[in-house]
Amino acid sequence: MTQLTDEEHVYLTAASQGDVPIVRQSLEDDPDPSLNINCVDYMGRSALHLAVDSESIETVELLLEKLSFDCIEEALRYAISKGNTKVVRAIVEHPSYIAGGVDQERARRSQRDPFFRTDEKSQFSPDITPLILAAHYNNHELIQLFLSRGHTIDRPHPISCQCADCVTKQNYDSLKRSRSRLNAYRALASPAYMALSSTDPIMTTFELRQEMKKLAQVEKEFKVGDISLAFQCRCVHYCTLSTGEINVMHKHSNKPLLLYD
Ligand SMILES: [Zn+2]
């Protein structure tokens, strides 16, 4: 990591304090050889990331105008992890994010799946999309926000799938493939995601649970996370069960309800 210049120190500190005049001044000076506006501190935090913590929407919006899409994406995921809905909205509704998202999508389709990205600076693995992250936190409002903007979570292919995509990923990095599958399943099992995205949350929970049980037998990595998945699946039952639905569930399972393990 390169050493920060004095100007960069001042700029990052101002962003972390939501100091609008200084941040504006720094951005107006760009390009300045002693100030890289996309610079990060020793913990890898950009000005935008620090501004998320300051909760100053004005600072966030100023930075959104100028910073790289990578910085914006990272700050967005950080804001989701903090459950900061106001900032998340400010980012996703900003023209820079919308334009960058379109470009990213084009790049993704034309060349590389985020799975293959190696982004050591990021605290989030590249397969963790904003919607997956919101689902990991079971954040109802944010899940709804991303669903309404057309985001989706793809169901992982079966573990033994031999399609070109799965074979390439398996050969490239089997552990990474396992992790990204686990990330997707953890998100799919979010009670809020299920309630908002499925027309039949009870049936979806049941199917998902069966799928995850099979997975735990073949994929060692999976067993670690399976406990919390089982817990989340139970949660959705507690939230949604009615007498009529219990009867429906009994048609599909011989086991007593809520007793999975
Ligand atoms: Zn496949």
User: Which tens digits make up the pLDDT trace of 99-140?
Assistant: 876 666 665 555 556 677 666 667 888 889 999 999 999 899
Cα–Cα distances in angstroms (integers) from residue 7 to residues 15, 32, 130, in the given order:
12, 10, 32
| pLDDT value for 47 | 95
Q: Quote the ligand 1 centre to 202 CA distance (angstroms).
A: 26
Q: Quote the ligand 1 centre to 161 CA distance (angstroms).
A: 5
Mean pLDDT for the chain? 80
Q: Quote the ligand 1 centre to 200 CA distance (angstroms).
A: 25
User: Do the beta carbons of residue 151 and residue 130 sit within 8 Å?
Assistant: yes
Q: Considering the entire predicted model, what is its pTM?
A: 0.79
> Phi then psi for 174, rounded to 5 degrees?
-70, -35
pLDDT surpassing 70 at residue 194: yes
Cα–Cα distances in angstroms (integers) from residue 219 to residues 157, 175, 204, 224, in the given order:
14, 10, 21, 10
Q: Among the listed ranges 33-42, 161-170, 186-195, which one has the minimum average pLDDT value?
A: 186-195
- Residue 13: which pLDDT band, with cuts at 50, 70 and 90? very high
Q: Quote the ligand 1 centre to 26 CA distance (angstroms).
A: 48
Rounded to whole angstroms, the Cα distance separating 126 from 41 reads 21
Q: Quote the ligand 1 centre to 243 CA distance (angstroms).
A: 38
User: Which tens digits make up the pLDDT trace of 209-222?
Assistant: 777 777 777 766 55
| pLDDT value for 22 | 94
Q: Quote the ligand 1 centre to 41 CA distance (angstroms).
A: 39
Q: Quote the ligand 1 centre to 98 CA distance (angstroms).
A: 30
Q: Quote the ligand 1 centre to 257 CA distance (angstroms).
A: 32
Q: Quote the ligand 1 centre to 36 CA distance (angstroms).
A: 42
